[in-house]
Structures are given as C-alpha cells and as structure tokens.
Structure 1
Amino acid sequence: MLEKTSAEMVLRPAAGAVFALLDGRSVLFSETRQKIYELDQVGAFIWCKLAQGASLEDVHQELGQLGIDEQAARQFTWQAMNIWIDRGLLDLDWRMSANCAFSTVLGQRRISVRAANWDLLQRLISLFCVPDDSGGQEDIAIETMVLDDQVFFRGNDASIHRCKAAALAPTIKAHITERLIRSDHWAFALHAASLAKCGMGLLLCGQPGAGKSTLALELVDAGFQYAGDDVALIGADGTICGVPFALTLKKGSWELLSRLYGDWNGVTHCRSDGAEVRYLPIPDAHNGCLSASWIIFLNRVASGPVELTSLDQLDSIKRLIEGAFAADGKLSQAGFFALKRIVAGARSFQLTYSESAKARRLLMDLCNGKA
C-alpha cells in the first residue's frame, strides 16, 4: 500500500476544455483536439463537481447520496478521470516539498526527481547508481505523486502521465532515456551495455533479450567498471557515454544476483512489456565518456561452446547500424562517420555463448590479452 501523499493536488478542467448542454445532452468540447465528447449522466455530474473545485472524496460522498455505493463511485470517477487526463481535458496540478528529492547526472545531463512522499522516492532511487547533489541547473526534472492509489508524474513539458505503482520506476527510466536520446548533444544511441577495463571501453551490443545485463553483472563481479546496461550515447567524435542506470535484471538473472550478492530481496518492478525486473545500483559506476577498445556482438544460443569470432570493420559497422537509433529515426552522415571512428579504434567480435559464466571467462581473457 502506498503512503499517503503529502503534496497538495488540484484537479481542474484543462485550458480549452469546456462543458455545454446540447438539446439536454452533456458534452465536452476540446479546443486543443477540436473534438466533442458526450458525457453520460454520472460523467457529467463528476465533471461539474470537479469544475466547482470539489475533492475526490466530496465527489464520492455525493455519488453515494445518489444511491451509488462507494466502490462503484470510485470506479466511475477514476474511469472518467483517466479518459479525461489521457485526452488532455483534465489537468492535475500539485505542489510538493523540495525536501523529498534526489538528483544525479546521466548522459552529461542533470536529472532531478521530486516525489510527494518517501515511499515514491524510494521506488525511484533504486533506478540510479550514484547521487549527485552538487547543485546546478537541472536539465530533466521529474515530479511524481500518488492520488487515491494511482501514480502520476510529469516532466519538463508539464504533460501528465499515469501508471501503476509497480510500473513507476521502469516508466520513469524510459521517459528519461528518451529525453537523453533526443538531446542535441548526442549524434545517436546504441542498444549496448558499456563497461570499462583499465580506462578502455567494452561494448556489449545486442537487442533486448540478448543477455547484456546478465553478462554485465558477471563482468562487474570480475572487476570491470560498470557504465550502463542498455543504451550507450554516441557523440559526433565517436566518444561513447554509457547511461548508468542501475543494472536491470529479469527473473532469469535473479539466481545469479543472489549468488553474487547474497539473498537479494530487491523490490520487483513491472515493465510495460510485462517483464518483472529488479534494479541493482552499482556504487562506483563510470559516468563519463569512453573510447571503445572492444565491440562484442552477443549471439546467445540454447547450447553449445562459447566462441569469439573476429569481425572486420565493414561487418562491424553494418551490425552497429542495425542497432543504432536516433531522435529523428535516421542515422545522419555525421553519425555514420562517428561509427567509422568507433570501429577503426576497436577490435570487433561476435560472441556465441549459452552460459554467462563461460562467456565471462572468455571476455576476461580477451581484455587481458590472453584470447
């Protein structure tokens, strides 16, 4: 059960949303969407009460006086409110204390997270490896609060998003990642985990499910410095900046997590794709730029020996392009030349493996000059 919010929230019609009666039928007109939405009798009652400044509890009580039981009143109210929020008809405004806050730096951008209570903040702190309270202008600001067991958050653009409490951290992570990718500072991004060994960068490339996070966990345990397990931001000069969110581990990795870190009882979060994940913050995460010395394309198979296959620059750059994505959906010429610089300065391999422990040993030998 979520802790009650300590923030003050106001629900009110959005600018450009007006209520009207047409032949006795209740409608809402959205100037923004240029659409008319018809309301049933209960919906019209709820809208008018909220427009008059009534609280949700007031609305529920008055629906009760009309013969609607409390559970049904809450269900009707939230069904209507969720539709209105999604259509931009209803605004939620809140003010919260600056004390319940956390800040960090990711992708050379300052991230600020403020929550209505400590329960919400703790759910989000687990997303990040290293706090940074040095101050300075925030580039990405997130505010989140809970109302009647629903969780809402807003970013710099002030638009309201909602999700279940269990999905809050993954949803915020996706929101921040998208903002970082859209930053003008980076040419494009790669689906890749990034690690450092003696100042040299290692990229583990692969689409979701390729095993990047599990293998990154193995390598961190072997002494590599963690720099990110999902997305690597690429500058026009070919420099690589990992995004060191906490390691995201799905159910298949929890046994390994427990072996390495004892009985790990981290909070379980639910992603939009339905996967259950846990987050492992890495205290000494690398939070700067790297030059890639090794590029590893993961090929996880059901069984068989572990094997490294050397790739030439052309094959490597083709594979990197397949895993690259930019804010506008296109890899620019500058992005292509950035990739060219990366592969020219690195050795590229395909890693075929079925067991992460064996892959770990082979990658350690490679980075130590033994493979």
Structure 2
Amino acid sequence: MLEKSSVEMALRPSVGAVFALLDGRSVLFSETSQKLYELDQVGAFIWCKLAQGASLEDVHRELGRLGIDEHAARQFTRQAMNIWIDRALLDIDWRMPANCTFSADLGRRRISVRAANWDLLQQLIPLFCALDDNGGEEDIVIEAMVLDDQVFFRGNDARVHRCEAGALAPTIKAHITERLIRSDRWVFALHAASLAKCGTGLLLCGQPGAGKSTLTLRLVNAGFQYAGDDVALVGADGTVCGIPFALTLKEGSWAVLSRLYGDWNDATHCRPDGAQVRYLPIPDAHNGCLSASWIVFLNRVASGPVELTPLDQLGSMKRLIDGAFAADGRLSQAGFSALKRIVAGARSFQLTYSESAEARGLLMDLCNGKA
C-alpha cells in the first residue's frame, strides 16, 4: 500500500471541458480533442458534484444516499475519474511539500522531481546516476502524488498523467526522455547506448532486444565511461549526447549484474510494456556532448562466433536513418547533415555476437586499436 499524499488537492473540470444537456442526455465536449462524450446518470452526477467543488469523499457519500454501496461508489468514481483524466477532461490541482524534492542534470537539462511523500521520492531516485541540488534554473519539472491508490504526475505542460505505482519510475523516464527529444537543442535522436573512451564516443546502435544495456554494463565494468543506455541525442554539429539515466536492465541481464556487482537487490519496476527492470546508477557518468569515433550496429544471434564487420559510410548512413527519430517524426535536412558529420568522423561496424562477454572483448580491442 502506498503512503498517502500529504498535499492539498482538488479535482476540477479542465478549461477546455464543457458539460451540456442535449435532448435530456448529458454530454461533455472536449475543446482539445474536438469530441463529444456521453455520460450515463451516475457519471453525470459525479461530474456535476466535482464541478461544484466536492471532494471524492463527498461524492462517495452522496452516491451512498442514492442507494449505491460504498465499494460500488468508489469503483464508479475511480473509473470515471481515470477516463476523464486520460481524455484531458479533468484536472487535479495540488501543491507539493517544499522539502520532498531533488534535482539532476540530464541531456544538458536540469531536471527537478517533486513528490507528495518520501515513498514516491524513493521510487524515483534510483533513476538517476547522480543528484545535483546546487540550485539553478529548472528546465523540466516533474511532480508526483497518490490519489485513490494510484500515482498521478504532471510535467511543465501541466497535463495530468497516471500510472500504477510499480510503473512510476519507467513511466517518468519515458516522459522525461520524450521531453528531451523535443528540445530545440537537438535535431533528432538515435536508439543507441553511448559510452566514452579516452574522451571520444562509442555508439552501440540497435532496437530493443539487441543487447545494448547488457553490453554497456560489461563495458562500464571494463573501464568505459557510461553516457546512456537507450537514447542518444544528436546536435546540428554532429555531436552526440547520451541521456545518463541509471542503466536499465531487463530480467535477462540480472545474472550478469549479479556476477559483476554481487548481490544487487535493487527494487524491481514494471515498464508499461510489461517488462520487469532494475536500475543501476553508474558513478561518474558522462553528462555532455561527445564526438563519435566508433559506431557499432548490434546483430545478436542465438549462437556462433563473435564477428566485427566494417561498414562503408553509405551502409552506416542507411542504418542510422532507419534508427533515427525526431520530435515531429521527420528527419530534417539539418538532421541529415548532422548524420553525415557523424558518419564521416567515425568508423562503422556490424557486431554479430551471441555472448556479451566475447562481444565486450572484441569492442575493447577495437577501441584500443587492436582490432
């Protein structure tokens, strides 16, 4: 059971939501989605009570006076509330306690996280490799609270989002990552882990399941500097900036984690896609731009020897374009030029492997000039 939020809060209709009666039928109009939503009698009753400033407990009591038992009243209210919040019809106003917060730097942006209680805050701290509470202007602010045994959060856009408690950290990570990608500092992003070796960058490119995080874990253990395990942001000048969240490891990597770091007993989190993950904060993570010296496309196979195959610039370019994504879904001319700079300044390879330990050895030889 989650610790209850110690915040002042109120539910209210969103600015763009309008209640109306049409032929005696209750409807909501959403200015945002340009849609009409019809309400049944109970839904209309709940909406009108909330619009009058009633609390959830007030709504439950009023439904009880109509002959609806407490369990059903809570179920009806929660279901309606969730639907309206997801459709941006209902807002939650709240005020966070001043002392339940921390800050961190990611992707050259300052992130501030505020929570309604220490239980929520402790779930989010493991997401970050290092905290930075030295002050400064906040670029991205996240606030999280508990209501009716669910977690609700909002960012700078003030829109309220919700998730289950076990999915809070992965959901917040996805939210912040999307915000960073949409920043005008970057022309596009790559599905790539990023590491630094002697001041230059190594990109491990591949879709989910290619083994980026496991291989990154092994390389960090071998002395590489960690810069990010999932998304790399690309500037117009062709430099790359990882997003150094704590290293995210799915269940298949936990055995390697245990061998390298002993009995790692961090909490398990559930991503929205159902995958179970754990977070490993990496000390001294690189938080800034790098020039890529090596681009490695991972080709994970069931069995066979490890093999490093050189790629020409055109082959590398095609693969990078396939793995690139931008805030508006399009690769711009500026993005293409940045990709060209990256490819021109780096050596590109395909790494075919089945065992991450063997792949690590070959990559170490490559970056040390032995392969």
User: Which bracket does the TM-score occupy, shorter chain normalised?
Assistant: over 0.9
5+ long unaligned stretches in structure 2: none
Shift of 1:57: 1.7
C-alpha offsets along residues 299-331 of structure 1, whole Å, 9 cap, x if unaligned?
000000111111122211221111111122222
With structure 2 as the length reference, what TM-score do the two structures score? 0.96
How many angstroms does 1:22 deviate by? 4.4
Asked if 1:278 is matched to 2:278, the reply is yes
2:230 corresponds to 1:230: yes
Compared with structure 1, are the counterparts of its residues 301 and 6 closer, same or farther at alpha carbon in structure 2 (3 Å cutoff)?
same
**The residue matched to 2:127 in structure 1 has which SS?**
coil
In 1, Cα distance between equivalents of 2:339 and 2:182 = 18
User: Which residue does 1:176 correspond to in 2?
Assistant: 176
Once residues 72 and 267 of structure 2 are traced to their aligned partners in structure 1, the CA distance between those partners, rounded to angstroms, is: 31
Aligned residue-pair number: 371
Change (3 A) 1:256 1:84: same
In the alignment, is residue 98 of structure 1 matched against residue 92 of structure 2?
no
How much does 1:26 deviate?
3.2
Separation in 2, partners of 1:366, 1:212: 17
Cα drift, residue 334 of structure 1? 2.0
Distance 1:156 1:199 in 2: 34
CA pair 342-17 structure 1, distance change in 2 beyond 3 A: closer
SS at match of 2:366: helix
Tell me the residue number matched to 2:288. Answer: 288
Aligned to 2:196: 196
State the shift of 1:287 in Å.
Answer: 0.5
Structure 2 CA distance, aligned partners of 1:290 and 1:20?
Answer: 56
Distance in 1 separating the partners of 2:185 and 2:27 = 45
Change (3 A) 1:93 1:334: same
Question: Displacement of 1:23 after TM fit?
Answer: 4.7
Partner of 1:70: 70
The CA distance in 2 between the partners of 1:27 and 1:337, in whole Å, is 50
Offset of 1:362 from its aligned partner?
1.1
Amino acid at match of 1:124: L
Cross-structure match for 1:41: 41
1:11 partner letter? L
Aligned to 1:53: 53
CA offsets per residue over residues 341-363 of structure 1, 9 Å max, x none? 21222211111000101111111
- The corresponding residue for 2:8 is 8
CA RMSD after TM alignment: 1.5
* 1:142 counterpart SS class: strand
Aligned equivalents of 1:40, 1:175: Cα separation in 2: 33
**Residue 333 of structure 2: aligned partner:** 333
Give CA deviations for 1:160-192 in whole Å, capped at 9, x if unaligned: 111111111111111111111111111111111
SS class of match (1:238): coil
- Structure 1 89/334 Cα, relative in aligned 2: closer, same or farther at 3 Å? closer
Equivalent residues in 2 for 1:81-96 (5 A)?
Answer: 81-96=81-96
| Residue type of the alignment partner of 2:350 | Q
Residue 216 of structure 2 corresponds to 216
